[in-house]
Every structure is written in structure tokens, then in C-alpha cells.
Amino acid sequence: MENKEPLSPHIQIYRWHISSLVSISHRITGIINIIAITLICLWVSLLFLGENNYEIINLFLSSQIGKFIILALTWSFSFQTLSEIRHLIMDLGYGFELKITKIISLSVIFGSVILTIILYLVGKNFI
Amino acid sequence: MVQINLPKNSQVRKGRYFKDKTGSKNLRKVNIYRWDPSSGENPRIDTYEVDMDNCPSKVLDILNKIKNEIDSTIAYRRSCAHGVCGSCAMNMDGKNGLACTTSHKEIDGDIDIYPLPHLKVKKDLIGDLDGLYKQYKSIEPWLKSNSKSETKEIIQSKENREKLDGAYECIMCACCSTSCPSYWWNGDKYLGPAVLLQAYRWIVDSRDEERQARLKKVADELKLYRCHTILNCTSACPKGLNPAKAIAEIKKMLATTNI
């Protein structure tokens, strides 16, 4: 059809706010975590089939890429946990004022990095 | 549905460049979204050099100056110029707001002006808000009190009146609804922050007798629960209201009452 009314630009031009950034990251990390947990469950199931399977995956996780994936998943998990707490607070009806939401969102971002480091160090000492 | 890219007929091209003719040294570039329904061409961005020495403080003043002195073909809505009517809602520097209350000093660099996001464009900066008004009508935004006399005043206590603060001030400029990604993807079903804030305003009104029915009507996976607390609405509202909180309150009411 000629002369059809165009759609005005939306996500292409809209500026990101911290709250929208945390919101979309919450979804993305959620999807990543579901896939990761499924894979970890599969790995654990493979242990029943013998030592060989364990060795292969252990070798992979000890490599540079493996370590990066572990670290990334730890962050994704930390972020999701803290962000979920943020959502629980908002479900109770708190934290909607712009200033407070900014503080909470920033705490989620920085908190997730700190939690990642803590979890990594704790995990490293255990293994 | 989530559609990140613009349709083919909506993709924005580079437009004309209007060089300054006043010889002023204090110039600012203003990029404005243009679409002419009679041309059949794609939308374009026209750039204007505006003399800031002789321009008052708001973005609307820039638009008026361009229309009066540089290019009279530009179309935009405006009326009161005092942040009361909500006509000049548009997207400036990536954020929705009223052109008449947004100071251009707050914007760094070039000033980008677009129509409100994800609307059918009628012309230039004028978006089609019919869908939003239809949704507004659907929540029946008027007082429903069947039992009380129509000739007698309905008394409201101070406390109950206070519940309407932060909701009745809404001027329906649509800044919030059109800033909401959820409303972009599901604007045909999801009511959006502006309409939900008004739904809330009638739900909490102590004089209204249809509270239950109103709650029931709005309790819908798509109408209400598409709000994922992204909070773009609250940061966009030019009147400093909090639609996100109102939506959360409706959700809370639904969770705690039997309907």
C-alpha cells in the first residue's frame, strides 16, 4: 500500500536508563541460567556412566575458555539472584521512586560483581 | 510481538540541511524527524541551524522559531506552552517529555527531536494516539455511583481524597505509555502506564461503587501483567507522577482481594 503511515522510531532512539538496563539483563541472565543449569544437570547425569565423562568435562573447564565460562555463569547467577530480590521488593510495592530505584539498580550491578568475586574465591578454596 | 527493526517504509533517511542565515555565532544543530504524508517517501531527518542568541529557553521555543523563521512546513502539536495540556509530548534527546517544559540547556550536543516512539506517524512530529484513547475509554474513566442521589454531594474525607494525589494530575500526554517497551511490543492488548494510572485513579476513589468490577476488568494477563517494572514510564513522566507504582498497587490489590 502506498503512502502508508510509518512507525515512529522506538528502541533505536530511546535512551537507556539504569532501570531498563537491569530489567532486560534480568531476562537475559534468566535464560542463560536455565540453559546452564540444564547443562550442569546433564553433566552430573553423565557421571553415572563412568570416570571418562568426568575427565573430559573437567579438562574443558580447566582450560581458559572453561574458566571464562565458569566466571561468566557465576556472574549471571549472582546478577539474577540480586535482581530477583529487587523484583521482590518492587512486588511488595516499594522502591518505585526514581532515586531509590537508581540506588537499588546500581547496588544490583556492583553487588553482582562483588558476589561473583566472593563465590569464585570460595569455590577456588574448596577445590 | 517484539519487533526490533523498523518496517521498510519507516526507515529514516537523511534529509535536508538548513544553513543559518542570520550570521549568528551561537548556533545549535537541531535534527528533526520529518514525514510528509503527501510525498509517499520514507521519513527523513532534517537538520536546522538555529540562532540560540534569540531563542527562549525551552525546546518548544526552538520549534516555534524554526516554524516561524526557517521552515514553515514543519508540523507539531502544541497549545498551552505551560505543561498543562500535554499536546507537545515528543521524544527529545532520546527521552519522552513535553517540549514546553524541557529546557534545551539540559541537552548536550545536537538536539534530536522525534515523535513519540512506536506510533503511526500522521505528519512530522504528530503521532496517532487513537489506540491509546480507545483504551482510555475502555476503563470507563468516570464516576459510577448508582445508589447515591444524583443531586446530592458525595462527601469524601480528607484521607480518601489524598489517595487520588499523584493520579488525578495526569494530563494524558502519553509520554509514559510510548516510553514503555512492553507497550511497544503489545500496545494493542496491554493497556500501558497512562491508562493503568487512570484505572488506578478510579479504583481508589472512595466515591466510586464499582471498585470490584473495575479490578476484575483490569485483571488480565495482557492488559495489566505485561508491566515488567522497566520504569521507563516513571522516568519519562513530565508531571513527576509514578505510573509504575500505581500499576504495582493494582497488582497488590488483586493479590490481596478475592474477586
ipTM of the complex: 0.91
- Between strands B27-34 and B111-114, the pairing is parallel
Contact assignment for B95 to A14 by CB distance below 8 Å: yes
CA distance to partner chain B, nearest, from residue A87 (Å): 8
Rounded Cα gap, residues B247 and B225, in angstroms: 9
Please name the member of B37, B118, B251 whose beta carbon is closest to the beta carbon of A8.
Answer: B118
Tell whether A99 is within 8 A of chain B (Cβ): no
Tell whether A52 is within 8 A of chain B (Cβ): no
What value does the CA radius of gyration of chain A take, rounded to a whole number of Å? 20
Q: Spell out the domains of chain B, with CATH numbers in brackets.
A: 8-127 (3.10.20.30), 130-256 (1.10.1060.10)
Query: Mind listing the pLDDT tens digit for each residue in B18-30?
Result: 999 999 999 999 9
CB atoms near residue B23 (< 10 Å): 7
Give the domain ranges of chain A: 18-126
**What are the grid coordinates assigned to B42, written together?**
520514507
Query: Mind listing the pLDDT tens digit for each residue in A56-103?
Result: 888 888 899 999 999 999 999 999 999 999 999 999 999 999 999 999
Query: Mind listing the pLDDT tens digit for each residue in B189-216?
Result: 999 999 999 999 999 999 999 999 999 9
Burial B73-110 (b: 16+ CB within 10 A, else e): ebebbbeebebebbbbbbbbbebbbbbbbbebeebeee
CB B117 within 8 A of CB B98: no
Which residues, numbered 73 to 92 in chain B, qualify as contacts with chain A under a Cβ-Cβ cut-off of 8 Å? 91
Q: What pTM, to 2 d.p., does this model score?
A: 0.93
Sign of the Cα torsion B48, B53, B54, B56 reads positive
Tell whether B248 is within 8 A of chain A (Cβ): yes
Tell whether B254 is within 8 A of chain A (Cβ): no
Q: How would residue A28 be classed by pLDDT, with cut points 50, 70 and 90? A: very high
**What are the grid coordinates assigned to B31, written together?**
535534527
pLDDT of amino acid A57: 84
Tell whether B253 is within 8 A of chain A (Cβ): no
Contact assignment for A96 to B33 by CB distance below 8 Å: no
CATH number of A18-126: 1.20.1300.10
Which of B227, B231, B239 should we substitute to test contact with A (largest number of A Cβ atoms within 10 Å)? B231
DSSP B84-139: SS-TTEEEETTEEEETTT-BGGGS-SSEEEEPSTTSBEEETTEE--HHHHHHHHHT
Average pLDDT of chain A is: 92
